[in-house]
Amino acid sequence: MAKTDFGPPDFRELIPPVIKENYGKWKYHEVPQQGVLRHVSESGAVLHSVRMASPRLVSGDFIREISDIAEKYCDGYLRFTTRNNVEFLVSDANNVDPLLDELDDKGYLVGGIGNVISNIVHTQGWIHCKSAVTDASGITKSIMDDVKDYFTGKIALPARCRIAVACCINMCGACHCSDIAVVGIHRTPPRIDDELASKICEIPNTVASCPTGAIKPNPRTKSVTVNQEKCMMCANCTVVCPAMKIMNPAKDGVSIWVGGKVSNARTAPMFSKLAIPFLPNNAPRWPEVTDAVKHLIEVWAVNAKKGERMGEWIGRIGWERFFTLTDLPFTNQHIDDFTTAKTTFRSTTQFKF
Amino acid sequence: MAKTDFGPPDFRELIPPVIKENYGKWKYHEVPQQGVLRHVSESGAVLHSVRMASPRLVSGDFIREISDIAEKYCDGYLRFTTRNNVEFLVSDANNVDPLLDELDDKGYLVGGIGNVISNIVHTQGWIHCKSAVTDASGITKSIMDDVKDYFTGKIALPARCRIAVACCINMCGACHCSDIAVVGIHRTPPRIDDELASKICEIPNTVASCPTGAIKPNPRTKSVTVNQEKCMMCANCTVVCPAMKIMNPAKDGVSIWVGGKVSNARTAPMFSKLAIPFLPNNAPRWPEVTDAVKHLIEVWAVNAKKGERMGEWIGRIGWERFFTLTDLPFTNQHIDDFTTAKTTFRSTTQFKF
Amino acid sequence: MEDKKTPLLDELEKGDWPSFVTEIKKAAATKKNAKDLLNQLEKSYGENLGHWKHGGIVGVKGYGGGVVGRYSDSPEEFPDVAEFHTVRVNQVAGFFYTADKLRQLADVWDKYGSGLYNMHGSTGDIILLGTTTENLQPCVDELADIGFDLGGSGGAMRTLSSCVGKARCEKACIDATDIIRDLTLHYQNEIHRPAFGYKFKIKVAGCANDCCASTARSDLAIVGTWRDTLRIDNKAIREEYVEKGFNIVDRVIVKCPSKCLSWDAEKGVLNIIPEDCVRCMHCINEMPKALRVGTEEGATLMVGGKVAIVKGAMIGWVLVPFMKMEAPYTEFKDLLDKIIDWWAEHGKNRERISELIERMGLVTFLKAVDLKPLPQMVREPRSNPYIYWSPEEVENNG
Amino acid sequence: MEDKKTPLLDELEKGDWPSFVTEIKKAAATKKNAKDLLNQLEKSYGENLGHWKHGGIVGVKGYGGGVVGRYSDSPEEFPDVAEFHTVRVNQVAGFFYTADKLRQLADVWDKYGSGLYNMHGSTGDIILLGTTTENLQPCVDELADIGFDLGGSGGAMRTLSSCVGKARCEKACIDATDIIRDLTLHYQNEIHRPAFGYKFKIKVAGCANDCCASTARSDLAIVGTWRDTLRIDNKAIREEYVEKGFNIVDRVIVKCPSKCLSWDAEKGVLNIIPEDCVRCMHCINEMPKALRVGTEEGATLMVGGKVAIVKGAMIGWVLVPFMKMEAPYTEFKDLLDKIIDWWAEHGKNRERISELIERMGLVTFLKAVDLKPLPQMVREPRSNPYIYWSPEEVENNG
Ligand code: SRM
Ligand code: SRM
Ligand code: SRM
Ligand code: SRM
Ligand code: SF4
Ligand code: SF4
Ligand code: SF4
Ligand code: SF4
Ligand code: SF4
Ligand code: SF4
Ligand code: SF4
Ligand code: SF4
């Protein structure tokens, strides 16, 4: 029987000596240039980290290539960030520039630090998930091609802007708390294969899976029925009951949400809010989506004060002004009707015309 | 058949000439002294209003007495305020001082304007309501005796402070949006007279009346049962079904809520929040309640900045600091568990120890 | 009726605040029911228990409400309050009275009731506190003779009330007292003959200071506002305030919720970004001699205010950001009729309008009353990805 | 396998951002399943439709999870992805690797899988993207040989992850990487053998900047903080910032959420009201060379973070304002065990902890895990007057 339950390799054996020695003793950091972090320890020791964009979905070639680079400049030490960038951990300051040169030569992008757009956190999409309404990798690539100058710092921004992409409303990531989130959505209710349902559907679980209470057992067909007026096309029932099908290539699409954040800096974490309820699912490059994202970034960049993230900016100017400045229509879809909807109603006469 | 549906007397026939002439033309007002408003019209005309405390529950003698006073100084014109004070509408500026003197002689209190504690908005209590847990008039009188120097302006306050008293959680008034609210509460669930219920209870209505879904039909007894763990002792079922009795003199009591407001000035309207879940129902003078109210006022008065109402002050310092400054215990009762409870949870690491 | 002692209540005659006990005693000098009210109340004070019975419907001819039936649960002990019904008399708009009018009222009530009043009830009515079933009809008849009609109770439109408005306030952007006068007359039937599933309340505030707590406690609140720019008299700011030591920055500038004000100390000029002003009233409140509301006046309509029963308290929210309010208020009445119709059609027993909206969804409601969704209606758009699409919306949208 | 064209995907090789299509193509040069992945994906791009089947459980010996079964719905058309299961490999804490370690991994995966990876999955795992049922066991065995174990999936404790923490960050108040290393080892059984009603996630952030989005997406988030006063080096403020033109008032003072900072420009001194600081990190973030976190370090525990399904999204909220985090983290583990026990006992199928707490009430939960109610747990106390009193509380309280 194979060895089990031994856990991952011990990180303490995979960190460079400078980290081992200065663990917990880092004193401050600076950013000598975009893409480079210079951490200084209480002991005076210095570590440079060089951050490089990654597509996240990578090949063995990529793994071997970054390993080679790490070996060449970093004694083999590197890490990934929580947003899936690669960080080369350079102990010898003299290696920083040569490393940057090599990355540049190879066409890799360096950046992602501070008030920029870092890598997009995204999900599986059609590459591996059965629930995918759209392809997260494709949208991510299309957006990042367009906004890469914000990653490399070529164009300045008022604050960091975190973009996330999810292929369905399960939102595997932090779409619900991102400055800009792109989320695949359905717009038509599930279709039920009654025949199949009567055989395989665990009806109580299916009924319970519906957030809006739209599903009722149908004793006649031994299946279930969906109240179309209550169904919010969340697809959760389709995860629980394979006899419910919701994919609808002609009608499914993409929604955009804005103003979320997770850090507690200055303001509390915030949920992202609906900005654009529907854009077409226009593979392979989703021009409507990339245009919308760029537009949102640009309106924010022009109007926000220095240091104001998307949600903080909107918090200051108000959502009514957000919709006029972005020229986006405010629709029925924007108005919440879920369980705590009433807490979103504007119970004050304070608003802007 | 009697005349019906003619509506109240026309206010236009009951306003003094100076108002008729300057209706909609008032330009500004000042407060020459506490209890006196001086409104100036675009035409230059002036109206003085002298505000006098009223117990709200008044006798015919009182009605006749204020009528006499109004006749003497105001050509008979007077009004009541939305907080049940009396306002004498003095057209002849020379009458203001004599009026004030007479009110003083008669022991009437003048004040209630601006950054003060005005009259308490309260409800029927044992005087006329079948649902009363406590007596609103008695608590009101007891509090106002204690805080009258804040009404007359003898002691200054950072901002206005609106107090409301309700004899049960129906809160006939604006307890839910008051700087300080005193509300009668039950702490034991209703007792059901099954025999009676089986005869007179409209079971579906009774079940529907329960905000927390604690009531279920009991087919056996043709009555209902109450899930004691879900019952929040709101008494709403007792309004719908006379076979449910909730009065419990030994256990009922008084709760105190703070930080509400209704004006949109500076900050949006706010709900009052629970400060003290229980104080004894100690008639005739409710010393625990009056002490608590005084204490809350004093802590606020000392700590708030000029212009900060109770809720605005708490908004600035945070509730955790409110509880330390007031030295009030934070209990299970303070934590919301009603339908939008989760929106009250502190989803940020920002807090004070 | 023996002269019982009331030692507990006597305690409430002490102190400087005017005493309701003294008032009841004054009435009790001539009124047996006032006396027995005092006696029963003394008992309540001793026992921590009210003594009014549950239920008991009474009425007067031609009306379905306006009186609240009340019976003592100890009629043997307190025979004179065995029946002690309240008469809700529609107050005069703005609570304006003359000495004559009040005396007329007192004459009628002395004749038929306890001689006790609430001036006024929380909804706005004059509450005539306590009479017998027998006396109700003649009392109401004689009230009619002096021009006083009943207010609302039960599943009806309730008595409307307002702040003092344009009658005595420089801040009023709408004619609050005229609006409730007009609407009260227009909706007499809805007020007097309960035909709704529950109460429906309307209150009118001349401006966002909301001196009648309208958004907190009315199903539909009409709150005055303006669409242009508030008026600034810089000379008055300087002379009446700043030069007299008023700290305009601390007291006004930093407290403006939308941060649209700035004070140019050098020039002595207050600058405003008009389109950012949310018309909160604060700066005007602080400098009434120098600032005034704008001139393009109208109202914001707020729907859904109420207290806790059954689904929780609600502060009314923006339904119509701006509506001109000109007599005879036809646009408003048309909208109100649609609201009431929808509520009548879909509301359950004891379901307030805000609870119905919460249950059926704000969008459903907006469609029913022909209003377009606007960002002004919400603090923020939805955050949960549960989005309803009607088949038409899917067709029309890609 | 014929060499199909992929004109749509080829579009995604254009542009400067590194292309996942290029990556798949690189793998496809030697891997048939990578090639068919590309082909099936091209079809999805053409049809706007995914081609993975619903369901299909696969596994490896000794584990209940760690692999996600995946089958093509068109196995005839794309035989090489007929089975294309994912292996979730527990990442190294802090995502630290050496070239050697990565190459070892690549060697195993080249042998058994598609040669495609997600570095990393959103939860934190190394996602090995696609292999057959047959290859799963040998792949996992050889991963074990090089020291890599599986992560979590299904109704289990999920793979823990953290920010870089004390390893490379001056702001870390807790040893984030060590905490997840320790907890991961301690909870191997809970991670590897799904026995819960649904997923349970833990993430650790060294400070309130929350660089791993812990409060947004973990059922229990451990966030570093401090109890004393943040450290201020006024000399550095002056020399490194203010004298270099940094506008400390605009950038820092006015943005402090608790307004506890003031800048004495004359003295060149930053003053703080320590007890008012809510440790938001902002001032430290802006002046890393001059300000540092306090020295009395520990963590705030936040419970309940998750996305929308079923009852709506939730950002974790304060459960324990401050807990010392010292290895072996016994206090934390004791609390976590109580939480998991209560959830196991009361949670329904697919009910996250925050949904259970919402359903049963926060107070019920606090009692179950032996925590006292604290004002830090809520933004504000209740506003609706529906107060539950247990019989004991009524006894003990008047
Ligand atoms: C490397 C990384 C941690 C890791 O373990 O991998 C990291 C590292 C640092 N973060 Fe972060 N953060 C990292 C993800 C995050 C995230 C999570 C995310 O984006 O998903 C957040 C929360 C974002 C949000 O609120 O939505 C995050 C919010 C911050 C903040 C607060 C930002 C703000 O709201 O003002 C700071 C403070 C600052 O920038 O001064 C910060 C500061 C830092 C510092 C300066 C900390 C330090 O002193 O070393 C590090 C470098 C700065 C940088 O990257 O801009 N880091 N940081 C992550 C890099 C991701 C990437 O590749 O882009
Ligand atoms: C007479 C009355 C209206 C009426 O129709 O009867 C009235 C009259 C005025 N109010 Fe009011 N308010 C009256 C109840 C209210 C209420 C309602 C209530 O208390 O139930 C409120 C909302 C309170 C709340 O937010 O909880 C109210 C919130 C204001 C405000 C905003 C206060 C704030 O939050 O900053 C102002 C502005 C100011 O004071 O400068 C205001 C200002 C005024 C002014 C100055 C308006 C004017 O220019 O004439 C009037 C005299 C000032 C005063 O009384 O302090 N009035 N005022 C009411 C007197 C009640 C009483 O006897 O005490
Ligand atoms: C008399 C009055 C209190 C007072 O002393 O001023 C009053 C008295 C009663 N209210 Fe009220 N309410 C009175 C204004 C209010 C207000 C304030 C307002 O209208 O501005 C409210 C809060 C605003 C609102 O409507 O939400 C109010 C919210 C309630 C409620 C809770 C309604 C809810 O939806 O949550 C009830 C319970 C019910 O209807 O079953 C209630 C029920 C009652 C009943 C009818 C209880 C009963 O069944 O016996 C009380 C009759 C007492 C009596 O014997 O006369 N009363 N009630 C007020 C009416 C006087 C008037 O006509 O002017
Ligand atoms: C692989 C991954 C996305 C990625 O590309 O990175 C992923 C993929 C899936 N997630 Fe997820 N989730 C992944 C991280 C997340 C996260 C982020 C996190 O863990 O930090 C979330 C949001 C946080 C949270 O848990 O609330 C997330 C929220 C969900 C949900 C919604 C859960 C909820 O309570 O709302 C589902 C739906 C479900 O469980 O039925 C879900 C379900 C799924 C399933 C299992 C759907 C399915 O039944 O097929 C996906 C399998 C795809 C596949 O073929 O591999 N996934 N999922 C992530 C796991 C990789 C890893 O182990 O590192
Ligand atoms: S977001 Fe939806 S489609 Fe995308 S990986 Fe997660 S569960 Fe699958
Ligand atoms: S798609 Fe969602 S809302 Fe619609 S029936 Fe299924 S679970 Fe319910
Ligand atoms: S608050 Fe309750 S007890 Fe008091 S008058 Fe209103 S319904 Fe009656
Ligand atoms: S008192 Fe309230 S919570 Fe309790 S059973 Fe009656 S209606 Fe329900
Ligand atoms: S609400 Fe406005 S208009 Fe009405 S009295 Fe108050 S300040 Fe004046
Ligand atoms: S009314 Fe309020 S929002 Fe408008 S300028 Fe004055 S203070 Fe600012
Ligand atoms: S969360 Fe704090 S400790 Fe962790 S990397 Fe970010 S800034 Fe550093
Ligand atoms: S950490 Fe945040 S709250 Fe504390 S002083 Fe700095 S900015 Fe203010």
Residue range B175-186: average pLDDT? Answer: 98
**DSSP, res C172:** -
Query: What is the extent of the structural domain holding A229?
Result: 191-245
Taking residues C68-89, report their average pLDDT. 97
Q: Which two tokens stand for residue D123?
A: 């939860």
B31 and B97 inside one domain: yes
Res A1: pLDDT: 54
Strand B163-166, strand B180-185: pairing: parallel
Residue B92 tokens read as 């002849």
- Domain-embedded: residue B62: yes
pLDDT digits (tens, 9 = 90+) for C360-384: 999 999 999 999 999 999 999 999 9
In angstroms, the separation between the Cα of residue A327 and the nearest Cα of chain D is: 28
Rounded distance from Cα A29 to ligand 1 centre (Å)? 13
Give the whole-angstrom CA distance, residue D345 versus residue D360.
Answer: 12
pLDDT band at residue C398 under the 50/70/90 scheme: low
**Band of pLDDT at residue C2, cut at 50, 70 and 90:** low
Are A202 and A160 in contact, with CB atoms under 8 Å apart? no
The pLDDT confidence band at residue C4, using thresholds 50, 70 and 90, is confident
Atom of ligand 12 nearest to the CA of D255: 7
Element (H, E) at B97: helix B96-105
A85 and A54, same structural domain? yes
CATH code of B292's domain: 3.30.413.10
Within-domain flag for B26:
yes
Q: Which residues pair with A78 in a beta bridge?
A: A88, D97
State whether B241 and B253 are in the same domain: no
Mean per-residue pLDDT over chain B, rounded? 97
Q: Which residues of A touch C389 (CB under 8 A)?
A: 187-188, 233, 333
* Per-residue pLDDT, D55: 75
Please say whether the dihedral angle defined by the alpha carbons of residues A146, A151, A154 and A160, taken in this order, is positive or negative: positive
| D 199-218 near B (Cβ less than 8 A) | 208, 210, 215
For residue D203, the cross-strand partners are D161, D221
Residues A43 and A97 in one domain: yes
Count of other CB atoms within 10 angstroms of residue D86: 26
Domain with CATH 3.30.413.10 in chain D: 161-165+179-218+302-396
Query: Does some domain include residue B267?
Result: yes
Among protein residues, the one with the nearest Cα to ligand 8's atom 7 is: B210
Q: At what angle do helices A60-74 and D99-112 cross, to 10 degrees?
A: 170
Q: How far apart are CA B63 and CA B60, in angstroms?
A: 5
Residue A67 vs residue C397, higher pLDDT: A67
Rounded Cα distance between D224 and D279, Å, is 10
CB atoms inside a 10 Å sphere around CB C321: 21
Cα–Cα distance for residue pair A144/D238, rounded to 1 Å: 39
Q: How far apart are CA A130 and CA A124, in angstroms?
A: 9
Q: Which of D211, D226, D280 to mutate to test the pocket of ligand 11 (most atoms within 8 A of CB)?
A: D211
Residue type, D376: Q
CA–centroid distance, residue C285 to ligand 10 (Å): 10
CB B276 within 8 A of CB B295: no
In this prediction, residue D2 carries a pLDDT of 57
pLDDT of residue B12: 98
Check if the beta carbon of residue D237 is closer than 8 Å to that of residue D227.
no
pLDDT of residue D375: 98
Taking residue A234's Cβ as centre, other Cβ atoms within 10 Å add up to 28
Model pLDDT for residues A237-259, shown as the tens digit of each residue: 999 999 999 999 999 999 999 99
Q: How far apart are CA B128 and CA C85, in angstroms?
A: 9
User: Are A167 and A228 within one domain?
Assistant: no
Kindly give the interhelix angle for A60-74 and A96-105, rounded to the nearest 10 degrees.
Answer: 150
Are B147 and B295 in the same domain? yes
pLDDT tens string A285-301? 999 999 999 999 999 99
Mutate to test the interface with B, among C39, C123, C163, C307 (most CBs of B within 10 A): C307
Q: Is C279 in the pocket of ligand 9 (CB under 6 A)?
A: no
For residue B245, the SS3 value is: strand
CATH number for the domain including A55? Answer: 3.30.70.3340
Number of structural domains (chain A) is 3
The encoded tokens of residue D298 equal: 């520990």
| Distance of alpha carbon D279 from alpha carbon D225, whole angstroms | 7
Max CA pair span of chain C: 84
- State the average pLDDT over residues A101-113: 98
- Look at residue C57 in the predicted model and tell me its pLDDT: 85
Contact residues for B284 (Cβ-Cβ < 8 A; gap 6+) = B138, B142, C8, C9, C11, C12, C45
pLDDT of A158 strictly over 90: yes
Q: Using a 6 Å cutoff on CB, does residue C203 contact ligand 2?
A: no
Which chains touch D (3+ CB pairs under 8 A)?
A, B, C
pLDDT tens per residue across span C308-349:
999 999 999 999 999 999 999 999 999 999 999 999 999 999
For residue B10, pLDDT beyond 80? yes
CATH 3.30.70.20 maps onto chain D at 231-292
Q: A45, A74, A105: which is the final residue of a domain? A: A105
* Token pair belonging to A267: 């303001």
Confidence at residue C18, expressed as pLDDT on a 0 to 100 scale: 98
Question: Which residue's entry shows tokens 């070529």?
Answer: A154
- Tokens, residue A38: 């210079």
In-domain check, residue A352: no
Q: What is the pLDDT of residues B250-260, one digit of tens each?
A: 999 999 999 99
**Where is C205: in which H helix or E strand?**
strand C202-205
Residue C262: exposed, middle, or buried by beta-carbon count in 10 A (0-12, 13-18, 19+)?
middle
Homologous superfamily of D161-165+179-218+302-396: Sulfite Reductase Hemoprotein, domain 1 (3.30.413.10)
User: In chain D, which residues have pLDDT < 50?
Assistant: 1
Q: pTM for this structure?
A: 0.97
CATH of D231-292, one of 3.30.70.20, 3.40.50.2000, 3.40.250.10, 3.40.1440.60: 3.30.70.20
Cα distance between residue D138 and residue D134, in whole Å: 8
* One domain for residues A172 and A39: no
Q: Are both B166 and B298 inside the same structural domain? A: yes
Any idea what the CATH number is for the domain that residue A222 is in? 3.30.70.20
B4 in contact with A at a CB cutoff of 8 Å?
A: no
Judge if B129 and B239 occupy the same domain: no
Terminal CA-CA length for chain C = 82
φ, ψ for residue D39 (rounded to 5)?
-65, -45
- What single-letter DSSP state applies at residue C347? P
- Does residue A315 lie within any of the structural domains? yes
Task: State yes or no: pLDDT of C388 exceeds 80.
Answer: yes
Q: Across the interface, do D98 and A266 touch by the CB < 8 Å criterion?
A: no
Which of A269, A342, A348 faces B264 most closely, judged by CB atoms?
A348
Q: Residue B1: is its pLDDT beyond 60?
A: no
Edge-to-edge order in the sheet of strand A273-280? A163-166, A180-185, A253-258, A273-280
Average pLDDT of the residues in B189-196: 96
Strands (E), D79-163: 85-89, 96-98, 116-119, 126-131, 161-162
Domain D7-145 -> CATH class: alpha beta
> Is residue A318 situated within a structural domain?
yes
- Nearest-CA residue for ligand 5 atom 2 is A168
Would you state the structure tokens that stand for residue C244, as one six-digit string?
A: 């007299």
Cβ atoms of residues A222 and A198 within 8 Å: yes
Nearest 10 degrees: CA dihedral of C111, C115, C119, C121?
Answer: -90
Is residue A3 domain-resident?
no
Q: For residue A64, is it within any domain?
A: yes
